[in-house]
Chains A and B, each alone.
Chain A
């Protein structure tokens, strides 16, 4: 960022097209970072305002007011209260929806009282004539005493005017409060407040009192003085209420002179669609149909790119193996890093497709209707209508799902949602389910048409959801957390999704997965590779011992190599670990080989398949999955003399993978979001314990 760049903060109510404007202004220069100390994503981008002037634009989370009720919203307050001098904006760009101008101006009036230069961009003006709205722009500018521009961000109209207004506002750098509401309420009280530090605007000081949020320039003494105002809570509350009423009175005065709505001209698409989408019966059917469509599409659309990624990385490994000089470094690349990266990339198609659907549903306004329909049901289980979005996202990957809980303002409901999301069937479980199902479930039809294997998979999905819901119910009853939250969801107008917004959203969430989960999966892959390719003496002598064994003299060269690989793994550190947990997992029907696979699954669950492939000394190429299956099928449990992966053991493993917390990346994200190791540890031991008990019961009953 150059020194003379204007720092612009983009602020607005949710559903005002703030994101569209941000995308128009910054395009591909966007970068997502983190706010220090909190985990809300910070989106920044550069915008060329004129030939000589650039601006760095920060997209702040959507909010209805500066007084925050969720973590997302508290960012706005923190940015505006200049907690961080480097981040404090020179100009604030407030986006408002032309149809809800009155409500949008409340936030504007608060910001104006902070006495920072402010530009008001009234968005979606292309809808004005359809809604019967007319605005006297000159009068509005005068009344609000600020730069006002009319734009249509989606249609890329008025963007140039926004840029000009930012420059103009920055140059003029004059800023006067709009309401100074507080003086009207109790002049004496607020004079005393202002006297504490006249360098701040009255409203800033008031926010420090009500939100207990202090900038660095506030001295310890001043802080104490401010906190003394906080003692009389009922008075604060009363004054906040009065302030809001006063603001609306001022806004009404302004709008009376400048804003006319002819209601007779308004068309009513919203109420017609609402009658269908929120219908007490059809509403649920439509939601169910949408869900089925989404899951079907994920399977249909992702199989081709996933196969492609799979083969590409297998070829890349081969290529590297053949072209790199032999040695530990090339082993690390061929067996650790390339498969590790492949293991991350392989999930991108499923995750991107799911987030594509979620972004479209959110953009159209349908998601708010789902929240409305589901709130009461979810509340019975200690969650919130808004929890439905994380729970659906969890079927792709728990990491973006857990991040999606940030909009839930009640801490208890949010925490419960975070804790149960990993029960939903994420995409890493699918390869494991696929191979186990094909081993133990016959490929026959039930009810004459439904494939039994597909049915089992469906049941596993259902098991994930049901367990999540039941776990939430138990947590609701046991967690002693007091959190008073107020539930309010705006029901936005229905609109066609903007391709640009959807694309950016998908890109951003996929990135969150790749960089959030990816680096942990990759790091663990390397660690596991090391543990699997090193070991004590017996490991080093493996090749010699196998070759010298007379039993093996009949084997072909490749078979011999595979046998050596298998024996090496058995004697590696990870093999030793697998063997040492064998007594614990024996009652579940597993041996040390499965034990190794369970341990390696901590990188990502799908590693299970690859690990077993190595153990059963086959190449893990795609074409050879049948060979893995054959090998697994012919594996004998020496104690019973029966198949190792028979029905009881297979079911037990399925149940284990459905419940166990085996994802380091998820644990790391939960730690980040809850700011303590307590909750991820509860997840790790609670879920894995549940998995152990259930698998034990399943195996013991079935065998």
Chain B
């Protein structure tokens, strides 16, 4: 299962429609919506948190939350 946490740096994915209930409201409000393009920009030195760009928002979220959010990778 691919999640935001399984992206490599620079890789792009699309948040899957089924992910909705796993996305915290706060993150949803900040633009992390099903169907949105999400790019992993940087991983912090201790592998956590993750720095992502989704829907034009640049956000740092913890791996724990990122691994809850399913994505489809761009090659699909």
B61 touches A488 (CB 8 A): yes
* Residue from the list B34, B49, B59 in contact with A376, Cβ < 8 A: B49
Contacts of A240 in B (CB 8 A): 25
A271 touches B41 (CB 8 A): yes
* Residue from the list A67, A69, A238, A375 in contact with B48, Cβ < 8 A: A375
**Per-residue B-contact encoding for A89-119, CB less than 8 Å = 1, 0 else:** 0000000000110110010000000000000
A373 touches B31 (CB 8 A): no
A486 touches B59 (CB 8 A): no
**Per-residue B-contact encoding for A589-623, CB less than 8 Å = 1, 0 else:** 00000000000000000000000000000000000
Alpha-carbon gap, A377 to B59, bound state (A)? 19
Residues A406-432 near B (CB distance < 8 A): none
Judge if B60 is at the interface, Cβ distance under 8 Å.
Answer: yes
Judge if A65 is at the interface, Cβ distance under 8 Å.
Answer: yes
B49 touches A375 (CB 8 A): yes
Contacts of B56 in A (CB 8 A): 99-100, 102-103
Contacts of B58 in A (CB 8 A): 270, 490-492
Judge if A455 is at the interface, Cβ distance under 8 Å.
Answer: no
A244 touches B28 (CB 8 A): yes
Number of interface residues of A (CB under 8 A): 39
Alpha-carbon gap, A558 to B29, bound state (A)? 73
* Residue from the list B24, B34, B48, B57 in contact with A490, Cβ < 8 A: B57
**Per-residue A-contact encoding for B17-58, CB less than 8 Å = 1, 0 else:** 000110111111111011000000110111111010001111
A64 touches B60 (CB 8 A): no
| Known interface pairs A102-B55, A486-B24; A248-B60 also in contact (CB < 8 Å) | no
Name the segment of A276-284, A323-331, A392-400 touching the other chain.
Answer: A276-284
Alpha-carbon gap, A492 to B20, bound state (A)? 25
Q: Which of A237, A373, A376 has the largest count of B CB atoms less than 10 A from its CB? A: A376
B44 touches A376 (CB 8 A): yes
Shortest beta-carbon distance, B31 to chain A, in Å?
Answer: 5
* Residue from the list A65, A102, A372, A486 in contact with B44, Cβ < 8 A: A372
Alpha-carbon gap, A270 to B21, bound state (A)? 32
Alpha-carbon gap, A607 to B56, bound state (A)? 53
Residues A55-111 near B (CB distance < 8 A): 64-65, 67, 69, 99-100, 102-103, 106
Number of interface residues of B (CB under 8 A): 31
Q: Which of A65, A106, A491, A492 has the largest count of B CB atoms less than 10 A from its CB? A: A491
Alpha-carbon gap, A65 to B28, bound state (A)? 10
B55 touches A375 (CB 8 A): no
A376 touches B48 (CB 8 A): yes
Judge if A636 is at the interface, Cβ distance under 8 Å.
Answer: no
Judge if B65 is at the interface, Cβ distance under 8 Å.
Answer: yes
B29 touches A65 (CB 8 A): yes
Q: Which of A64, A99, A241, A281 has the largest count of B CB atoms less than 10 A from its CB? A: A241
B59 touches A375 (CB 8 A): no
A interface majority secondary structure: helix
Judge if A489 is at the interface, Cβ distance under 8 Å.
Answer: yes
Alpha-carbon gap, A280 to B48, bound state (A)? 11
Judge if A371 is at the interface, Cβ distance under 8 Å.
Answer: yes
* Residue from the list B21, B42, B46 in contact with A241, Cβ < 8 A: B21
| Known interface pairs A241-B20, A245-B20; A368-B60 also in contact (CB < 8 Å) | yes
A103 touches B31 (CB 8 A): yes
Shortest beta-carbon distance, B33 to chain A, in Å?
Answer: 6
Contacts of A5 in B (CB 8 A): none
| Known interface pairs A278-B51, A280-B45; A486-B27 also in contact (CB < 8 Å) | yes
**Per-residue B-contact encoding for A480-507, CB less than 8 Å = 1, 0 else:** 0000001111111000000000000000
CB-CB nearest 10 A-B residue pairs: A280-B45, A376-B46, A491-B58, A65-B29, A489-B60, A372-B60, A486-B24, A103-B31, A376-B48, A244-B28
CB-defined A-B contacts under 8 Å, sample of 17: A67-B29, A106-B29, A237-B21, A240-B25, A372-B49, A375-B60, A375-B62, A376-B45, A487-B61, A488-B26, A488-B27, A488-B59, A488-B61, A488-B65, A489-B59, A490-B57, A491-B58
Q: A64-B26, A371-B60, A490-B57 are in contact. List 16 more A-B contacts (CB 8 A).
A: A64-B30, A100-B57, A241-B28, A245-B20, A283-B45, A372-B42, A372-B49, A376-B48, A377-B46, A486-B26, A487-B60, A487-B61, A487-B65, A488-B27, A488-B61, A489-B60
